[in-house]
Structure 1
Amino acid sequence: MDTSRKPAFIYTYACRKDEVSLCDLEMRSFFGFEASQQIFKSTIQIDPSRSPFIRERIDVMYEGDTLEEIYDQVDQVQVGDATFRVLFIKTNDLDITDKVVYVNRRGIEREIGLRIEGEADIQSPELLFGIVPLGGRWYFGNYHKNKATWFHHMQKPRNYSIALTTRIARAAANIAVPDPTGIKVIDPCCGIGTVLVEALSMGIDIVGRDINPFIARGARENIAHFGFECEVTLGAIEDITSTYDVAIIDMPYNLFSTSTTAEQDSILQHARRIASKVIIITIETIDDRVASAGFTITDRCIAKKGNFSRQILVCT
């Protein structure tokens, strides 16, 4: 393995048809581009469990034009006392006529496994390795699978029908903060804390606030239910005096709230005051109002929940 090369990672991902716009924006936020297929290579390392769409990641150790080149290189792999398993990644870019059938996939896994110095364990391995073809080459390395953390967050004590889904909330947090290192975030209209829970589970430094005492109490209950800690204060965005790198604002919908257009415009204006980057989630087209608040919309997508659609705007 050439350690002088920049690290490389192979990702696979999947999304439903109504999630394509949201998935694409998350991909642009993480990697700076949209993948044209469900597998791609990047030099950027993202934990697969951060995304509701990334399925798995291979940390490339070896690559070659042929499987034989991979076989020769994995002779160097030693796992010590740890047990391991090799997985052939089914999502790849092979032409349908070149697809590797199940029996051959198992054969490739066995051949690689025989060349690794250590004990193989199909059921409960301590280490996982992946092998996959992409772009006419073969790649081998440590394998990481998405743990679908957001799925468990669906079962929270407080919930409302119009609240963001955990998948949308998680993607919104990633769009807002693709790299959380040193970033301070606020959700000043946090509702029951769906975004807060997802952000906290990914190690994002975030605080919440809501003007409704009942709702703010529900957010605290949801956060505590999952074992997280987060400051959730009571009050309007107008009263915030601190500044943040990013604000995530799920705008009041006027479905179950009594916020007026003027009050919503005030939220936008104060968001401009307290954060240099703002993610706005809205069910209405408010581009003109966003511009009037002093923002430039740099990217956007549509996020759907059944027949209910939201726009997610990236604003600076």
Structure 2
Amino acid sequence: MKATDYIYTYVRHKDEHDLCRLEMRSFFGFDVSANVLISTIGIAPSRSPFMKERLDVFYKGTSLEDIAQQVEQLTLGTSTFRVICLNTVDLDTTKKIGHSKRRKIEREIGLRIDGEPDLEQPDRVFGVMVLDEKWYFGEYVESEAVWFQHQQKPHMYSTALSTRVARAVANIAVPHPESVRAIDPCCGIGTVLVEALSMGIDIVGRDINPLVVLGSRKNIAHFGLQGDVTIGPIAEVANDYDVTIIDMPYNLFTHITEDEQLDIIKEARRFTKKAIIVTIDTIDHMIEEAGFTIVDRCIAKKGTFSRQVLVCE
């Protein structure tokens, strides 16, 4: 059965709120301040570091009984199933449902389904939820924290993007990967590359420092991924790309001047239509001088430390 809508629930730290909403806008074309979003666009929830789960909506109703009647037409054959109620926390203005009532809802819906229930290892998992007094039922997809597995890399920099931020930045750059070619021309140890490659994004990396290129290659291989990382300055990029991701170089050992920053952005404008630029400095004037326009932005915070994420076209 094909879903009519997709309902996503979110979990994010207060410091990640703006970054999460920018990722939402990239995926769906709009954002919400709440922890639940409804869209006709299907995104694998494991792609986002903020998505908790997705409900692929099959049936909608004005009451639980309405949903219960509709699920009677669902025939599973030999497949086993389980039903879970997703109202475990407050979802926007809809208050959470207590444990005993959730179990009652699950039993009531499960008894109407033509199939064999299995609470331990079901072939299919269905979800039921209520939002703003409307009821929804469909296939349940739980997010896997893939990014969490990437936190411990063989090679790491203290100033590199966190895996959560890197994953969100990759999604902002390439929300829909089909036929999109991306490049990270100042890739460092490959934090963004690892996240992007793990999501099936067609991306290559490059860095002027041979040592970090070696580290990037080892990090990619460590997670069983395959990606091309070359040595050389951004000025030597010869191919065109649909999108470029640039985490502006900085730390105690990388002394980059404003002119060098501007040169990086100008070079990116030469071979790309779109750039996602991550910076600790305000560089709006450089973006404009290089020929880009900032079409969206956010602040990604970690305690007192902040980065700007700029979407440039």
Q: TM-score range by the shorter chain?
A: over 0.9
The residue aligned with 2:259 is 262
Deviation, 1:262, is 1.8
1:113 Cα offset (Å): 1.1
* Cα distance in 2 for residues equivalent to 1:95 and 1:21: 23
* 1:11 to partner: Cα distance: 0.9
Q: Which residue of 2 aligns with 1:290?
A: 287
Report the alpha carbon displacement of residue 209 of structure 1 after superposing the two structures with TM: 0.2
Residue pair 1:93, 1:133 contacting (<8 A) in 2 also: no
1:87-98 equivalences under 5 Å are 87-90=84-87, 91=89, 92-93=91-92, 95-96=94-95
1:148 aligns with 2:145: yes
Contact 2:159 2:251 in 1 (8 A): no
Give the structure 2 partner of residue 65 of structure 1.
62
TM-score (normalizing by structure 2): 0.96
In structure 1, the partner of 2:274 is 277
Give the % identical residues: 59
Q: CA RMSD in A?
A: 1.4
Q: Which residue does the alignment assign to 2:25?
A: 28
- Give the 5 Å matches for 1:77-226: 77-90=74-87, 91=89, 92-93=91-92, 95-96=94-95, 99-226=96-223
Which whole-Å deviations, capped at 9, do the CAs of 1:250-290 have from their partners, x for residues lacking one? 00115331222222111010000110000000010111111
Q: Secondary structure at the match of 2:27?
A: helix
- Residue by residue over 1:144-201, the C-alpha shift from the partner in whole angstroms, topping out at 9 and shown as x without a partner, is 0110100001011111110000000000001011100100000000000000010011
SS of structure 2 residue aligned to 1:109:
helix
- 1:230 & 1:182 partners in 2: Cα distance? 17
Give, in angstroms, the shift of residue 121 of structure 1. 1.5
Asked if the contact 2:94/2:132 (under 8 Å) is kept, the reply is no
Once residues 219 and 126 of structure 1 are traced to their aligned partners in structure 2, the CA distance between those partners, rounded to angstroms, is 39
Asked whether the equivalents of residues 6 and 57 of structure 2 are also in contact (C-alpha less than 8 Å), the reply is yes
Contact 1:281 1:310 in 2 (8 A): yes
Report how far residue 100 of structure 1 moved. Answer: 2.7
The answer on whether the counterparts of 1:9 and 1:59 sit within 8 Å (CA) in structure 2 is: yes
How many aligned residue pairs are there? 311
Matches of 2:36 and 2:242, distance apart in 1: 32
The amino acid that maps onto 2:235 is E
User: Deviation digits for residues 204-230 of structure 1, max 9, x if unmatched?
Assistant: 000000000000000000000011111
Contact 2:173 2:243 in 1 (8 A): yes
Aligned mates of 1:159, 1:307 — CA distance in 2: 21
Residue of structure 1 equivalent to 2:303: 306
Once the 2 structures are TM-superposed, how far is the Cα of residue 249 of structure 1 from its aligned partner?
Answer: 0.3
Hey, what's the Cα distance between the residues in 1 that align with 2:132 and 2:37? 9
What one-letter code is carried by the residue in structure 2 that aligns with 1:13?
Y
In structure 2, how many angstroms separate the alpha carbons of the residues matched to 1:42 and 1:151? Answer: 26
CA–CA separation in structure 2 for the residues paired with 1:168 and 1:126: 34
Tell me how far apart the structure 2 counterparts of residues 183 and 294 of structure 1 sit (CA, whole Å): 22
Contact 2:292–2:312 (CA under 8 A) maintained in structure 1: yes
Unaligned runs of 5+ in 2: none
Shift of 1:95: 4.4
Assess if the C-alpha contact under 8 Å between 2:52 and 2:143 holds in 1: yes
